[in-house]
Amino acid sequence: MMRGSLTAIVMLVGTSMLLAADGQPALTGVGGAAGIGQYPPDRWALASSTISNPTAKAVELLVNFRFDQTPNLEFATRVWVPAGCRRSVWLPIHTFWYEVDEGHPPRLALRQQLVDDRGTQTAILSEQDGLLIAARDRVITGMLTDSDESDDEAISTVLAARRAQDLSKRLAYLNDTNLPPFFSALQGLDALVISKQTPVIDAAQLEALRQWVLAGGRLWIMLDQVDDSFAQSLLGDAWTIQVIDKVYLTNVSFQSPGKTALTVRMSDDLNITLDGKPVVKLTRGEKNVAAGLDKLSKQIANRLKDKVESLDRRALIYITGGVDGNLAEDLIRAVRTATETDSIIDREHEKPVTCVRVLAPGFETMHSVAGWPVALQKAVGKGSVMVTTLGPRGWVEPVLVPATNPDGTVERDEKGHQHFAFGHFALRPLEDISIWLHQERAADPLPSRDFTNYLSEQIGYQIVGRGTVMIVLTLLCAAILLNGLWLAKRGRLEHLAIFAVAAAVVMSIAMIVIGSRARTAVPATLAEAQFVQVAPDQQYAIVSGMFTVYNPGTGSSAIEGENATLKGDAGGLVLPMNLQHLGLKRVQLLWTDVDKWEWRNVPLPSGANLQAATEHILPMHEPVSALVSFDAQGAVGVVHGGSLGRLDDMLIVTSSGAAVPRVEPYGAFHASQSDVLPPGQFASGAIDDARRRRLAILQSLLGSERETDSRVGTPTRAEVKVDALGAPIGAQRSRLPSTYPASPMLLAWADAIELGFERPAVTQTTGSALVAIPLSIVRPAAGTTVSIPSAFLPYRVGKTQFGITSPVFDERRRQWNDSPRPSAFALEFQIPTELGKLKLTEANFTLDISAPAFKVEVGVERDGKFEVTATKTGSDGLMQVALPADGAQPDAQGRVNVVLRVSSTGSTGDQLWRVRHVSLNIKGIVE
């Protein structure tokens, strides 16, 4: 697989006016594909162009691109080409929305033009039509590597990881030269793997890569391949890993908590033993291998027939170095099927595997080998970083896999026989990494469009008052009455009709004048709203949002001209959203440098509101942080606003709830259990108009409405209304549900951040920002008595041995479902790991449940038995239970387990039960 395949995805279908008869400049070569070489829907991407100048003079020309599907939107850049030279350029473009279809991807028709606009008249010198192949994968993985050959060990490992998730073998190969210097050009990547030892990239490329991670990208660094100094320069203070040394392992055994029930061993001569006793000796041949492994499976099943829990059924599989990968894969699959759970692999390698031993404070260890972490993970901004320290061969088994054609179909010869190719089988630890790496991006928790109503309520016409209208009508009626009396005295009452019409016309003109003045009383206004997500360890602000500009059209505050000024000279992006309402003339985004751009011909007619989405990632010059700890009253903390300035309306939010902290001078705050809000509520106290608008935004971010965009299946193009940029309007785009926040967060309101954009000059400006600052939990001193409010105790639902556990909780959506069946499950409340070991002195559990035809039991597990603390039949409301402190002590992982059992009271008919909400607040002593 050669890197040339990236450019092969562009197919020219038109004829370029290469070198005209008069030798004028022209487009030449294959243009279009650049950067990651793939074009996902409704994302920024990168296009390229090559211009030839055969003349004897240097020229400066304009190159533009536009899709046939969005003909009124152009992306352009100016190019200076020396005499007798050829020059290539890159520029970001924005794709329109379409459905990703791996089998039948749509063709993106692209037109490219070379324009001479130096004189009074614009001339098109050259033109090309082309097709870009749309993205086929919902998850796009890139690799920054020295090679693009499939026999490279690092590449083979990544391909095995994709294969483990039933994804294609398509990768976006990047190197030092084609890594885009634009953050926007990397937006199409969901994941990126770095295996290049020391990438030689410039400051713009490094900043683009850093911003991509901060904005939500998933980065995998193979530290056995990559120099840690590069990772340090990329991640800054977030890189806390210290390399100790490098060793070479002949045995790789991934550690796992708990014991194994049995040991399976396969030796070089293909002898298989079970707990040291011979079971079978395999011989080469598909039927013989299948029969031998079937015999092994039956013996394992007999050995484990009394084992119920998965941790009690696990096997240790030891495979010697001479066993080939295909047989190793067959053995692993057979044991996994027989045990109904995953096994621990101890693999001997004839060629030692590299392992870098590290210390990694602040990183979460996913897998370890010989007591050292080999897979570590850490959140960085909205994104996350995975670091592996074990060589690629330690994660996979080399196997033969079915060969596939470029279109994904199985490769066969003329007789229909299937071809096989060299590949790899992912061991379970690599499958875990693959699940992390290839998650489809969750929906933006607060899309720019969610600010539409928030901003529109701040800009509007002033309506003529009812009193003014009544005065005008009274004067009209009085004038008609008095004139009628006067005409009646003179005996000329027949002239009253003429007077009435004339009076009505005069009054109508007066109303028009008054209405016009009322309309122009609203000055030219720019209103802006932002969602600012702070990355404290990087001291960056990830800003997304929207602004709207109102042009009254008349009066002293009217915006001159009919076009809006939109420019940027320090990065960031602006994308107009409602062009279809403002006219259909061609709008152009002109790039003048890597971080400089200008929108041209954006219409802003009289009386119109221009809406535009914004996004920017920029450093904060003053540190911003929020620290929280616990004392006997609850959570105590301090927030430093830094570059954000004054913070108002603070709110602590977690995946388990929200609390309104009591704020003290100098940023100090505290929150007890009494400050925790009921489910779905995000404010306390009086609600004025400004707070009402703010609550609507919080509801979009945190409330149930955030999931209304999620649909089963994807709507067809005909069912979706789109705007002038091809993006779906309203809540019609299919997206994954948001479960914001994943970790404790402090939300507050502040003034909008200055993004460095030049926008239309207006008389009145208003701007606000919803700020999200991660809460860093500080461990109290040993012996401290602490009270932990329920908002700081997230939970998950697990199995229990005291009944059948039915699927009543959707972990992905964090939603409880209706159920007609009895069920028993454990609610596992996680104490913040930063607190270390805690001895509980008090635990109060609250359950809100509707189970009118069922019996509800709440309790704890003690010595393997269900100790019931509270029972209620026909429950429909709150149950508040004080759990026994000695029976609710945290386990080794710091989890407090509460057992809930819902059982039938007889004939329940069609009755359903549903948990509405659960919470736990505890007190204890830090050990």
What is the mean predicted confidence (pLDDT) over 171-191? Answer: 89
Contact call for residues 725 and 94 (beta carbons, < 8 A): yes
Tokens representing 780? 């109290």
Condensed to tens digits (0 to 9), the pLDDT of residues 125-160 reads 988 888 887 888 889 999 998 776 656 889 989 999
Q: Is the pLDDT of residue 12 over 50?
A: no
DSSP letter string over 807-843? Answer: --EETTTTEE--BSS-EEEEEEEEPPGGG-SEEEEEE
Residue with the two structure tokens 């080399």: 398
Condensed to tens digits (0 to 9), the pLDDT of residues 716-738 reads 333 445 555 555 444 344 444 45
745-751 vs 668-671, strand pairing mode: unpaired
More confident: 310 or 238? 238
Positions of E strands within 536-660? 540-550, 566-568, 573-576, 587-593, 596-600, 609-619, 625-630, 635-640, 648-654, 657-659
Predicted confidence at residue 730, as pLDDT, reads: 45
Contact call for residues 842 and 885 (beta carbons, < 8 A): yes
Among 142-156, 405-419, 806-820, 876-890, the range with the most confident prediction by mean pLDDT is 876-890
Query: How far does Cα 661 stand from its chain's mean position?
Result: 28
Contact call for residues 356 and 374 (beta carbons, < 8 A): no
Predicted confidence at residue 516, as pLDDT, reads: 64
3-state secondary structure 568-579: ECCCCEEEECCH
DSSP letter string over 407-459? Answer: TSPBPB-TT-PBPEEEEEEE-HHHHHHHHHHTPPPPPPSS-GGGGHHHHHTTS
Indicate the range of 361-365, 402-406, 506-510, 604-608 predicted with least confidence: 402-406
Helix (DSSP H) and strand (DSSP E) numbers for the chain? 10, 50
At how many degrees (to 10) do helices 325-339 and 286-303 cross? 30
Query: How far does Cα 611 stand from its chain's mean position?
Result: 23
The torsion angle over the Cα atoms of residues 798, 801, 804 and 809, rounded to 10 degrees, is: -10
Distances (CA, A) of 776 to 627, 666, 791, 796: 5, 18, 15, 22
Predicted confidence at residue 715, as pLDDT, reads: 35
Q: What is the pTM of this model?
A: 0.83
Distances (CA, A) of 271 to 15, 253, 283, 295, 323: 66, 20, 9, 13, 10
What is the mean predicted confidence (pLDDT) over 731-760? Answer: 78
What is the mean predicted confidence (pLDDT) over 773-794? Answer: 94
CA distance 219 to 384: 6
Contact call for residues 789 and 658 (beta carbons, < 8 A): no
Residue among 478, 512, 563 at smallest CA distance from 761: 563
Condensed to tens digits (0 to 9), the pLDDT of residues 671-684 reads 999 999 998 888 88
Confidence band for 635, pLDDT divided at 50, 70 and 90: very high
Condensed to tens digits (0 to 9), the pLDDT of residues 826-857 reads 999 999 999 989 999 999 999 999 998 899 99
DSSP letter string over 145-205? Answer: -S---TTSHHHHHHHHHHHHTT--S--EEE-TTTS-S-SGGGTT-SEEEE--SS----HHH
Condensed to tens digits (0 to 9), the pLDDT of residues 58-68 reads 999 999 998 88
Positions of E strands within 187-330? 191-194, 218-222, 242-253, 262-266, 271-274, 277-281, 315-319
Sequence length of the chain is 927
- Report the percentage of the chain scoring pLDDT > 90: 40
- Report the percentage of the chain scoring pLDDT > 70: 86
Contact call for residues 46 and 158 (beta carbons, < 8 A): no
Contact call for residues 899 and 881 (beta carbons, < 8 A): no
Contact call for residues 332 and 325 (beta carbons, < 8 A): no
Predicted confidence at residue 42, as pLDDT, reads: 86
Residue among 732, 826, 834, 801 at smallest CA distance from 308: 801
Residue among 649, 695, 639, 646 at smallest CA distance from 669: 639
Number of neighbouring beta carbons within 10 Å of residue 636: 21
Mean pLDDT of all residues belonging to the chain: 84
Confidence band for 472, pLDDT divided at 50, 70 and 90: confident
Residue among 616, 607, 590, 611 at smallest CA distance from 724: 611
Q: Is 633 helix (H, G, I), strand (E, B) or coil?
A: coil
What is the mean predicted confidence (pLDDT) over 39-45? Answer: 88
CA distance 650 to 409: 55
Q: Is the pLDDT of residue 395 over 70?
A: yes
Residue with the two structure tokens 């210097």: 181
Condensed to tens digits (0 to 9), the pLDDT of residues 197-207 reads 888 899 999 99
Contact call for residues 140 and 134 (beta carbons, < 8 A): no
Distances (CA, A) of 433 to 359, 390, 529, 798, 847: 20, 13, 37, 23, 36
Residue among 683, 627, 636 at smallest CA distance from 663: 636
Predicted confidence at residue 610, as pLDDT, reads: 86
Q: Is 735 helix (H, G, I), strand (E, B) or coil?
A: coil
Condensed to tens digits (0 to 9), the pLDDT of residues 568-625 reads 988 899 998 877 666 667 889 999 888 899 999 888 877 778 889 999 999 998 999 9
R_g of the chain, CA atoms, integer Å: 34
Residues paired with residue 110 on neighbouring β-strands, in sequence order = 67, 130
Contact call for residues 721 and 702 (beta carbons, < 8 A): no
CA atoms within 13 A of residue 371's CA, in its CB half-sphere = 0
Say which residues have a Cβ less than 8 Å from residue 624's Cβ, sequence separation at least 6.
534, 536, 539, 541, 640, 641, 642, 643, 644, 773
Contact call for residues 385 and 436 (beta carbons, < 8 A): no
Predicted confidence at residue 311, as pLDDT, reads: 64
The 8-class DSSP code of residue 565 comes to -
Q: Is the pLDDT of residue 245 over 70?
A: yes
Contact call for residues 734 and 713 (beta carbons, < 8 A): yes
Tokens representing 362? 């602040």
Predicted confidence at residue 20, as pLDDT, reads: 41
Task: Kindly list the strands in the beta sheet with 372-380, ordered across the sheet, starting from the edge strand earlier in the chain.
Answer: 172-174, 141-144, 191-194, 218-222, 383-388, 372-380, 364-369
Q: Is the pLDDT of residue 556 over 60?
A: no
